[in-house]
Chain A
Amino acid sequence: MKLVLDVNGRNHEIETAPDRTLADVLRNELGLIGVRVSCAEGECGSCTIHADGKPVTSCLMLAAQARGKKLLTVEGLGEIEKLHPIQQAFIDEQGFQCAFCTPGFMMSAKAFLEECPNPTEEETAIAMSGNICRCGAYPYIVKAVMKAAEQLRQEK
């Protein structure tokens, strides 16, 4: 099956079996290792990316269903030379340990803050509960998201 995917602002033409998941295709055809796959059953949220601005569990989505959607992965969020405020906030508050879950958390955070730009700590913790951090950095993840919220509000 030929598939054209719009990823991080660029179109990619891929030849692939139709039954592959989106996460698999992004990682292995496009080399986007920031789309992390751990549980592969929709529990951990490591694979969270955006489709048309909404957070999606890419390990459960078929690649074919991403046709015509604008996809955003952590690679499109920011770069080492130019980090997104969310990325910088995670560094400042050290909202990670092993960081395997971090791209997924930041993608969830981005979507959350777009909908809720001035959240409370409690709202943030609930919103971040779709992602698992096994290392247990949650209080610092919440701080990072709150800090990013403040930064983004200031930028507006």
Chain B
Amino acid sequence: MGVMERKFSVVGKGVPVKDAKEKVTGSMKYAVDFTVQGMVHGKILRSPHPHARIREIDTSKAEALPGVYAVLTHKDVPQNDWEAAWFNRRGKVLDGVVRFVGDDVAAVAAKTEEIAERALSLIKIDYEILPHVFDMEEAMKPEAPQIRVEGNRRDPYVVAWGDTSEGKDQADVVAECDVLYESQQYAPLGRNACIAEWNGGKVTVWTSSQTPSELRDGIHEALDIPLSKIRVMAMPCGSSFGQWWSVNFMLITVCLARKAGRPVKIELDNEECMVTVKRRHIERTRGRMGCTKGGELTFAEFDHIIDNGGYGFKDDVGFFCVDMWGKARHGSYVVHGVNTNLLTAGCMRGVGDCTLGASVERVADMLAEKVGLDPVEFRLKNQIRAGDELRMQHSRSTMKQTMEEYAASIPDELKESWPKLFHLSSGDTHELLRQGSAKFDWKNRFKGWGKPHTIKGSLRRAVGVGTGAHVCGVEFEGATSAIVRINPDGSVKVHCSVGRQGQGSETTQSQVAAEALGVSFDMVEIETGDTDSCPWSHGSLASNTMYRVGWATRAAAMDARRQLLEVACREFFDSCEPSELDIEEGVIFRKGISRSNVRPTISQVLNTFRSDTLGQTSSITGRPAVPMPPATTFARHFAAHFAEVEVDIESGEIKIIDYLATQDSGTVVNPQVLKNQAIGGAICGAGFAIYEHLVFDPETGAIKNGNLLDYKLLRAADFPSKAEVLFVESYDPVGPFGARGAGEAPIAAAVSAISQAVYNAIGVRVDIPMTPERVIRALNHF
């Protein structure tokens, strides 16, 4: 697919984000800043045990404490399972069993936080200690303590093609890996809070969430009350990376508020955010790939285990590396999800692709070295090209129709832009690698595998390249919709359910709507978090926002435009079809006819009816008429990152000294917003590569570094300020104005690029996080 030249008025412009002024004046409200009149404060009692059952719980003293409004235990909440998006958590709000140290046990609502805390200490619990298991491979054994009613193990998730034993026969060289990935923590800035207020059997919930619709669904499942009685007002988040979807503390707040008969606010402190909510899985890859002497992959075989912690229920991590490296003639990827008595694990930015994907990259690098190919060359030889078949074909197993029935059901006007399902529709790594290596001067800076380009005393400098992939939203939980309303004054409001965790969605969705309608960016406002007005959407996860919500926003805007032009045709233009009209800067005119005096504004068209005593419509509501083509069957976004590192072989310290992030997310709707995503992903990946990991107590499974002193986050001087971003804009046939998803491929590419650079600097492979100590151990310098 080529890069196409398009002329857009709003899309492609680096307009300042809509909330820029609120952000820089500190007036922007996050959930922690939110209050409602009459609210009281909630605190959660947390489990001291990794696995236990409550035999008896005595809350009488806590309830008697002056200032306490309610104490909530498992006896007070309906025993329904509720599920967070994408199997990130499945379980009851409280069920009298605790499954990790820090798990929710009970809650208190009181006049002040201090009284609530004191009340917590007055709750008496007699626990029956149950056997626990922390190691995921131990947890897979049938004799392991079972943490879930359904058992610890999920069915293996398999992606396979061809016959790997044939592929092994065809291979001239084989390389293997056995890598363990420690758990990364979201470590958000901004914490979170939840405020719930009941009124006549209906509840309103304010909290920072990336998935407003999913949270409403979760509350409905847990409490068994109609969706129409639940209103979620999702607020902007601090940094999230997937942490703030629907979280059990939000459900507790809802239940506590109902019991207390007062609005309740539960605010999480930093430690709670780091040790009681969610984390990335601990993951282990055992795998191998083989290639011919010429460097063609003949097979890829990977077995990957992920630990779901106490409440996760995932059977797979999104691993679109399987598509990126899908040219392997034969393949088998098997993922096993298993529960342990550690903090619940779920999706964190780049899930699967920055772990299993990094394993594939590592094995690919080992093969490339064996056959004497440069890493860029090896990738160019073996990575998917647009038009190739995808290996990830999960949807086939859950389709309701046959492919032919499905294809026949597509409306005629959409057929020509309909991509070929199960094939990569646009964008690949080819141009990224070509342009990126030219810009990074790869040929001169790469001196060969395991060979630093500069040695100075104990310092070694080298470069590395890594590629990463991810999907652009998934449709497994439902179709995404949006509403675009045109007001009588010509101003526009978009309603779409997305997160606002800094990825600029309130801005880019508005740009898409403005472009589709032909109005200026300033005339568009947007609501993103109110489930009363925003139709169902998966939310901002799996790099969903620009692609699927953006598609829906554009479709809704086009529908509004159609309705508007029908009215305009009828009232302002003689013998005219809507297709003959265009809109620019809010003015409607007949195409091709220069400067006629029939140029009504949107407002004029709509106000035509206001003066009519028959009171016909004067505002227009647009929505998509058909669901979007299934994104997982053809859309991927890719990144190729180039890194330069300096390693001190005496201390093992690693510095990242130069960086180029290249990415293909189709049309760049807002360059400044997208650069931030690319670099932000790179920095998150870099942190994972060199420092970030949770440390669990071997006796209790409690997290020992749930604070920012000992969970190290990179700072400004830890990442090169001169880092650059390069976009290749392969126009997407389906995405709004050719745009695709963007948020997650960059973190995957970063992990691989930095890992390879370190290998090239010191000649040995180090598992991530590549702490100074791990580097020294790998160098056998002890």
**Interface bits A78-114 vs B (CB < 8 Å: 1, else 0):** 1110010001101111101111111100100000000
Residues of B within 8 A of A132 (CB): 189, 708, 713, 715
Residues of A within 8 A of B382 (CB): none
> Closest approach, in angstroms, between the C-beta of B43 and any C-beta of chain A?
16
Residues of A within 8 A of B19 (CB): 99
> Closest approach, in angstroms, between the C-beta of A54 and any C-beta of chain B?
19
Residues of A within 8 A of B270 (CB): 38-41
B676 with A87: CB separation less than 8 A: no
Smallest Cβ-Cβ distance to B238: which chain A residue: A100
- Stretch in B28-36, B68-76, B398-406, B528-536 touching the partner: B28-36
A136 with B679: CB separation less than 8 A: yes
B189 with A44: CB separation less than 8 A: yes
A135 with B24: CB separation less than 8 A: no
**Which residues of A50-93 have CB atoms within 8 Å of chain B's CB atoms?**
73-75, 77-80, 83, 87-88, 90-93
The answer to whether A125 and B716 touch (CB under 8 A), given A43-B709, A136-B680, is yes
Smallest Cβ-Cβ distance to B114: which chain A residue: A17
Residues of A within 8 A of B238 (CB): 38, 98, 100, 134
Residues of B within 8 A of A93 (CB): 672
B721 with A97: CB separation less than 8 A: no
> Closest approach, in angstroms, between the C-beta of A18 and any C-beta of chain B?
15
Cross-chain contact of B189 among A38, A77, A122 (Cβ < 8 A): A38
Which of A37, A121, A125 gathers most chain B CB within 10 Å? A125
B721 with A125: CB separation less than 8 A: yes
> Closest approach, in angstroms, between the C-beta of B266 and any C-beta of chain A?
16
Which of B22, B715, B723 gathers most chain A CB within 10 Å? B715
In the complex, A94→B508 CA distance in Å? 14
**Which residues of A101-147 have CB atoms within 8 Å of chain B's CB atoms?**
101-103, 106, 121-122, 124-126, 128-143
The answer to whether A101 and B24 touch (CB under 8 A), given A129-B717, A138-B719, is no
Residues of A within 8 A of B676 (CB): 94, 97, 135-137, 140
Residues of B within 8 A of A129 (CB): 715-718
Residues of A within 8 A of B721 (CB): 121-122, 124-125, 138-139, 142-143
**Which residues of B1-52 have CB atoms within 8 Å of chain A's CB atoms?**
14, 16-17, 19-30, 32-33
In the complex, A139→B22 CA distance in Å? 21
**Which residues of B188-237 have CB atoms within 8 Å of chain A's CB atoms?**
188-191, 236-237
- Is B522 engaged at the interface, CB distance under 8 Å to the other chain? no
A41 with B707: CB separation less than 8 A: yes
- Is B256 engaged at the interface, CB distance under 8 Å to the other chain? no
B189 with A96: CB separation less than 8 A: no
Residues of A within 8 A of B677 (CB): 97
In the complex, A111→B717 CA distance in Å? 18
**Interface bits A8-42 vs B (CB < 8 Å: 1, else 0):** 00000000000000000000000011111111110
A139 with B719: CB separation less than 8 A: yes
Smallest Cβ-Cβ distance to A96: which chain B residue: B23
Cross-chain contact of A126 among B16, B23, B675, B717 (Cβ < 8 A): B717
In the complex, A34→B564 CA distance in Å? 42
Interface size class of A (residues with CB under 8 A): 35 or more
- Stretch in B385-393, B599-607, B681-689 touching the partner: B681-689
In the complex, A136→B714 CA distance in Å? 8
The answer to whether A134 and B716 touch (CB under 8 A), given A34-B27, A78-B25, is no
> Closest approach, in angstroms, between the C-beta of A29 and any C-beta of chain B?
13
Residues of A within 8 A of B189 (CB): 38-39, 44, 46, 98, 100-101, 132-135
Residues of A within 8 A of B709 (CB): 41, 43
- Is B722 engaged at the interface, CB distance under 8 Å to the other chain? yes
- Is B621 engaged at the interface, CB distance under 8 Å to the other chain? no
> Closest approach, in angstroms, between the C-beta of B227 and any C-beta of chain A?
29
Which of A40, A102, A135 gathers most chain B CB within 10 Å? A135
Residues of B within 8 A of A96 (CB): 23-24, 502
B190 with A83: CB separation less than 8 A: no
Cross-chain contact of A140 among B28, B30, B191, B679 (Cβ < 8 A): B679
A100 with B190: CB separation less than 8 A: yes
B24 with A102: CB separation less than 8 A: yes
In the complex, A137→B502 CA distance in Å? 10
Residues of A within 8 A of B682 (CB): 136
Cross-chain contact of A91 among B24, B237, B239, B679 (Cβ < 8 A): B24
Smallest Cβ-Cβ distance to B33: which chain A residue: A33
In the complex, A94→B502 CA distance in Å? 11
Smallest Cβ-Cβ distance to B269: which chain A residue: A40
A103 with B26: CB separation less than 8 A: yes
In the complex, A80→B682 CA distance in Å? 32
B21 with A83: CB separation less than 8 A: yes
> Closest approach, in angstroms, between the C-beta of B646 and any C-beta of chain A?
15
The answer to whether A80 and B25 touch (CB under 8 A), given A101-B189, A132-B708, is yes
In the complex, A57→B188 CA distance in Å? 19
- Is B673 engaged at the interface, CB distance under 8 Å to the other chain? yes
A34 with B25: CB separation less than 8 A: yes
Which of A39, A103, A134 gathers most chain B CB within 10 Å? A134
In the complex, A122→B719 CA distance in Å? 11
> Closest approach, in angstroms, between the C-beta of B716 and any C-beta of chain A?
4
Residues of A within 8 A of B720 (CB): 139
- Is B248 engaged at the interface, CB distance under 8 Å to the other chain? no
**Which residues of B241-281 have CB atoms within 8 Å of chain A's CB atoms?**
269-270
A91 with B716: CB separation less than 8 A: no
Residues of B within 8 A of A36 (CB): 26, 190
A97 with B239: CB separation less than 8 A: yes
In the complex, A4→B429 CA distance in Å? 61
In the complex, A41→B273 CA distance in Å? 14
Residues of A within 8 A of B33 (CB): 33
A100 with B30: CB separation less than 8 A: yes
- Is B503 engaged at the interface, CB distance under 8 Å to the other chain? yes
- Is B501 engaged at the interface, CB distance under 8 Å to the other chain? yes
A74 with B25: CB separation less than 8 A: yes
Which of B27, B237, B716 gathers most chain A CB within 10 Å? B716
A139 with B191: CB separation less than 8 A: no
Residues of B within 8 A of A33 (CB): 26-27, 29, 33
In the complex, A75→B24 CA distance in Å? 9
Smallest Cβ-Cβ distance to B708: which chain A residue: A43
Smallest Cβ-Cβ distance to A128: which chain B residue: B716
Residues of A within 8 A of B27 (CB): 33-34, 75, 80
Residues of B within 8 A of A79 (CB): 25
In the complex, A8→B714 CA distance in Å? 32
Residues of B within 8 A of A131 (CB): 715-716
B21 with A125: CB separation less than 8 A: no
Cross-chain contact of B24 among A38, A98, A99, A121 (Cβ < 8 A): A99
- Is B187 engaged at the interface, CB distance under 8 Å to the other chain? yes
Smallest Cβ-Cβ distance to A75: which chain B residue: B26
Residues of B within 8 A of A98 (CB): 189-190, 236-240, 500-502
B680 with A97: CB separation less than 8 A: yes
The answer to whether A99 and B28 touch (CB under 8 A), given A46-B189, A134-B189, is yes
Given contacts A33-B26, A41-B270, could you give 18 more A-B pairs where the C-beta distance is less than 8 Å?
A: A37-B191, A39-B189, A75-B25, A80-B25, A87-B25, A93-B672, A94-B16, A94-B676, A96-B24, A97-B503, A97-B676, A103-B24, A121-B721, A130-B715, A134-B188, A134-B713, A136-B679, A139-B719
Could you list some 24 contacts between A and B, CB below 8 A?
A: A33-B27, A33-B33, A34-B26, A40-B269, A78-B25, A94-B16, A98-B190, A98-B236, A100-B239, A130-B715, A132-B189, A134-B238, A134-B713, A135-B680, A136-B680, A136-B681, A136-B682, A136-B683, A136-B684, A137-B679, A138-B715, A138-B719, A139-B720, A139-B722
Closest 5 CB pairs of A and B: A34-B26, A97-B502, A136-B683, A98-B502, A99-B23
Chain A residues with CB under 8 Å of chain B are: 32-41, 43-44, 46, 73-75, 77-80, 83, 87-88, 90-94, 96-103, 106, 121-122, 124-126, 128-143
